[in-house]
């Protein structure tokens, strides 16, 4: 479908209704992004580091929680299955999901902290990031898989947001069960070993992540050749490789690759852009789009979020406005 037709379709009440009825089960590593914002006017007398006078503290949903938020902001239905700690960050994350009216199925691990990223920012420049995290217990993972078995039936599509924090250790079993139920599984992968993603429908690595698995490739033809081998090996239907300023490349089994140039007018902050891409691909699948048309939505949505500071989202009107600019 050409861009003008796709834009016109999104404006129609029926397709907005399709998006509103689409249900995506988001499974993965959720985190809380906390921003300390302030001014720097002096250097510390204790060490050669800037002193930030913090005057604003902001909190945002991160990781899999941000993926769910992206789906919700565009008008879809997201249910989040994730593991949190018994702490203030976990309470804050759960409360924020409630405020956004995102259905959650959170499993509490009393022996680990909620994954928390604290960023110190002055004049739109990040000065420092502190991470608080540890892997979940076997008991928490077992509870998470049991919950997955319960909530899977209501989902149109399963989306796995793997940030390498340990919350997706049972992903191979989840994919097997989802496929047996006829559910498409979309993966935002992590690490150098993709064998756990065997049988998934689509993966969305960025080029750097893709190269860690297949080796150094850069030209579109070489990327597609490597993707075809990977898809055959893992029994995948498609790979969408994001290429930063070069846009994105959709590689499907035994087909020519499809390229779209970047839609970003300016790049302010790429934090969370991958969350937006996988969220739009899975939501589009649940709403009835094919992967090629879904890539249009994902590309424009990503172009919107990278123009904002920090972990951000795009709504459907912003995405349509991006299409109209082009």
**Which residues are tagged catalytic?**
275
Judging by DSSP bridges, how do beta strands 30-43 and 116-122 pair with one another? parallel
Judging by DSSP bridges, how do beta strands 30-43 and 202-203 pair with one another? unpaired
Between CA 273 and CA 256 the distance in angstroms is 25
Distances (CA, A) of 125 to 42, 51, 132: 16, 14, 21
Judging by DSSP bridges, how do beta strands 258-260 and 248-252 pair with one another? antiparallel
Neighbours of 158 (CB within 10 A): 29
Query: Residues 306, 269: contact at Cβ < 8 Å?
Result: yes
Nearest to 315 by CA among 149, 97, 72: 72
Question: What phi, psi does 116 have (nearest 5°)?
Answer: -130, 130
Tokens of 228: 């075809």
Nearest to 184 by CA among 196, 175, 192, 194: 175
In DSSP terms, which residues pair with 184 in a beta bridge?
A: 157
DSSP state of 198: T
**Alpha-carbon torsion 177, 102, 131, 282, what sign?**
positive
Between CA 247 and CA 257 the distance in angstroms is 13
Q: DSSP letters along 241-299, please?
A: EE-GGG-EEEEETTS--EEE----S--S--TTHHHHHHHHHHHHHHHT--HHHHHHHHH
Between CA 32 and CA 59 the distance in angstroms is 7
Query: Residues 203, 235: contact at Cβ < 8 Å?
Result: no
């Amino acid at each position: 479908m050409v861009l003008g037709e796709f834009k016109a379709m999104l404006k129609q009440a029926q397709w907005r209704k399709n998006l509103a009825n689409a249900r995506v089960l988001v499974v993965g590593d959720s985190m809380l992004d906390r921003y300390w914002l302030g001014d720097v006017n002096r250097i510390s007398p204790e060490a050669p580091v800037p002193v930030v006078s913090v005057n604003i503290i902001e909190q945002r949903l991160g990781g899999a929680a941000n993926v769910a938020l992206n789906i919700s902001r565009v008008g879809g239905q997201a249910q989040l299955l994730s593991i949190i700690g018994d702490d203030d960050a976990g309470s804050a994350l759960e409360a924020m999901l409630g405020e956004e009216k995102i259905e959650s199925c959170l499993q509490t691990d009393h022996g680990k902290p909620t994954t928390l990223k604290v960023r110190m920012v002055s004049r739109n420049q990040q000065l420092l990031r502190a991470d608080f995290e540890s892997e979940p217990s076997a008991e928490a993972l077992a509870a998470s898989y049991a919950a997955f078995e319960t909530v899977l039936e209501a989902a149109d599509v399963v989306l796995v947001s793997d940030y390498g924090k340990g919350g997706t250790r049972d992903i191979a079993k989840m994919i097997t069960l989802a496929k047996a139920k006829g559910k498409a599984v979309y993966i935002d992968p992590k690490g150098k070993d993709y064998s756990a993603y065997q049988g998934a429908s689509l993966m969305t690595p960025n080029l750097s992540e893709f190269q860690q698995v297949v080796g150094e490739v850069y030209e579109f033809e070489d990327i597609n050749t490597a993707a075809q081998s990977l898809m055959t090996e893992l029994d995948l239907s498609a790979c969408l490789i994001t290429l930063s300023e070069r846009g994105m490349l959709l590689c499907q089994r035994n087909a020519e690759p499809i390229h779209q140039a970047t839609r970003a007018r300016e790049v302010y902050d790429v934090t969370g852009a991958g969350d937006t891409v996988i969220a739009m691909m899975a939501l589009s699948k649940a709403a009835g789009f094919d992967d090629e048309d879904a890539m249009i939505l994902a590309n424009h949505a990503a172009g919107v979020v990278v123009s904002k500071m920090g972990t951000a989202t795009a709504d459907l009107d912003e995405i349509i406005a991006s299409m109209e600019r082009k």
